[in-house]
């Protein structure tokens, strides 16, 4: 472990102070890292790069963050930048510039699963920033294995740092009561319309939808009443495993292009909840190539068939599979290995 004399700086997005319930995966992942370091009694300094916590104007927030970086980084021995594609472009060049003048170990942790897509579609200037950042950092950690394969030629010190969660004290019931749940940002790209279209015709099934509504999501006229009857609102992070364990199956028919390893899937596995989710690269790695509940993107028949495939007879084995799969993403098991990699 790190000793208390080491000087560590972690950089990432914290909860929005004005509305902490409005948190996407990037914020939750960084908050989870803070929690994990605290649990392991590792001292660290922090720079929050959530611009909403500084000013209503992004450019003002950006310069305030750079100002903090300039004054904090010179006294550190290890710096870890936790960002997605845009965060890498905004902050890594400045950190690498400071590295010319100060001696510190620089690690990057990439959130989300679409860095390769964004790199390929970006302009040559942005591509060169990404390449230079990856080449010049001491270590880089990716959320998914396919990103390691894609970018491995730029830096041999490339490692897997998946989304991790603590083992839950809650476990879902061993009996199947046809209670399904969606928990996450309520937006079209997460497959909310598909969920509504499917479950409104399944009269003896229950669907509970949790999470903040973003991007002005409005259900269609024919789904409006059904949505209002089944939408439970946003919940605090401390309530997630309790809410999940009170249901039978998590559904996530997402087609959001930035999907990596959705944390809610790992939360669901921690309580033994079977998962029905989209057949996307990151989710396939998360659930396993042989998962029977990977559904085609935005195809109602595929999603419906997967929902109907779960019954009293197979529910117990699906529940046990989730509990076993969670071990790959158990903070207690995996985090120590990652810390050892960071230390080297």
Residues 126 and 252 in one domain: no
Q: What is the pTM of this model?
A: 0.85
Residue span of the structural domain in which 234 resides: 179-328
Q: 7, 78 in Cβ contact below 8 A?
A: yes
Residues 237 and 270 in one domain: yes
- Domain containing 141 — which CATH number? 3.40.50.2000
Q: Is residue 195 part of a domain?
A: yes
Count CB atoms within 10 A of the CB of residue 233.
11
The per-residue pLDDT string of the chain (344 residues; one tens digit each, 9 = 90 and over) reads 344 445 899 999 999 998 887 777 789 889 988 988 888 888 999 999 999 999 989 999 999 999 999 999 999 999 999 999 999 999 999 999 999 999 999 999 999 889 999 999 999 999 999 999 999 999 999 999 999 999 999 999 999 999 888 888 888 888 999 999 999 999 999 999 999 999 999 999 999 999 999 989 999 999 999 999 999 999 998 899 999 999 999 999 999 988 889 999 999 999 999 999 999 999 999 999 888 899 998 899 999 999 999 999 999 999 999 999 999 999 888 888 888 887 77
Count CB atoms within 10 A of the CB of residue 17.
11
Q: Is residue 217 part of a domain?
A: yes
**Separation CA 275–CA 289 (nearest Å):** 14
Residue 85: alpha-carbon gap to chain centroid: 14
Backbone angles phi, psi at 277, to 5 degrees: -145, 165
Q: Which of 334, 341, 335 is nearest to 36 (CA)?
A: 335
Residues 155 and 105 in one domain: yes
Residues 189 and 219 in one domain: yes
């Amino acid at each position: 472990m790190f000793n208390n004399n080491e000087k560590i700086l972690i950089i990432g997005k914290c909860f929005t102070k004005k509305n902490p319930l409005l948190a996407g995966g990037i914020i939750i992942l960084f908050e989870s890292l803070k929690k994990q370091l605290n649990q392991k009694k590792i001292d660290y300094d922090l720079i929050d790069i959530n611009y909403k916590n500084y000013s209503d104007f992004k450019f003002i927030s950006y310069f305030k963050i750079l100002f903090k970086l300039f004054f904090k980084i010179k006294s550190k021995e290890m710096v870890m930048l936790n960002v997605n594609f845009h965060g890498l472009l905004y902050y890594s060049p400045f950190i690498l510039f400071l590295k010319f003048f100060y001696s510190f170990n620089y690690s990057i942790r990439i959130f989300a699963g679409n860095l390769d897509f964004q790199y390929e579609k970006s302009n040559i200037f942005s591509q060169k920033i990404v390449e230079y950042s990856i080449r010049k950092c001491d270590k880089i950690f990716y959320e998914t294995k396919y990103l390691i394969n894609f970018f491995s030629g730029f830096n041999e010190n490339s490692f897997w740092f998946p989304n991790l969660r603590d083992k839950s004290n809650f476990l879902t019931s061993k009996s199947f009561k046809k209670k399904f749940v969606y928990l996450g940002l309520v937006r079209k790209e997460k497959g909310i319309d598909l969920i509504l279209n499917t479950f409104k015709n399944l009269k003896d099934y229950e669907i509970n939808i949790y999470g903040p509504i973003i991007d002005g999501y409005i259900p269609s006229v024919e789904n409006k009443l059904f949505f209002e009857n089944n939408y439970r609102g946003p919940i605090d992070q401390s309530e997630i495993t309790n809410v999940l364990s009170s249901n039978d199956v998590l559904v996530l028919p997402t087609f959001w292009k930035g999907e990596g390893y959705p944390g809610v899937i790992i939360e669901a596995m921690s309580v033994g909840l079977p998962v029905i989710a989209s057949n996307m690269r990151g989710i396939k790695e998360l659930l396993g190539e042989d998962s029977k509940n990977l559904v085609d993107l935005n195809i109602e028949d595929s999603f419906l068939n997967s929902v109907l495939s779960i019954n009293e007879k197979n529910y117990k084995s699906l529940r046990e599979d989730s509990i076993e799969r969670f071990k790959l993403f158990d903070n207690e098991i995996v985090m120590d290995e990652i810390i050892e990699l960071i230390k080297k």
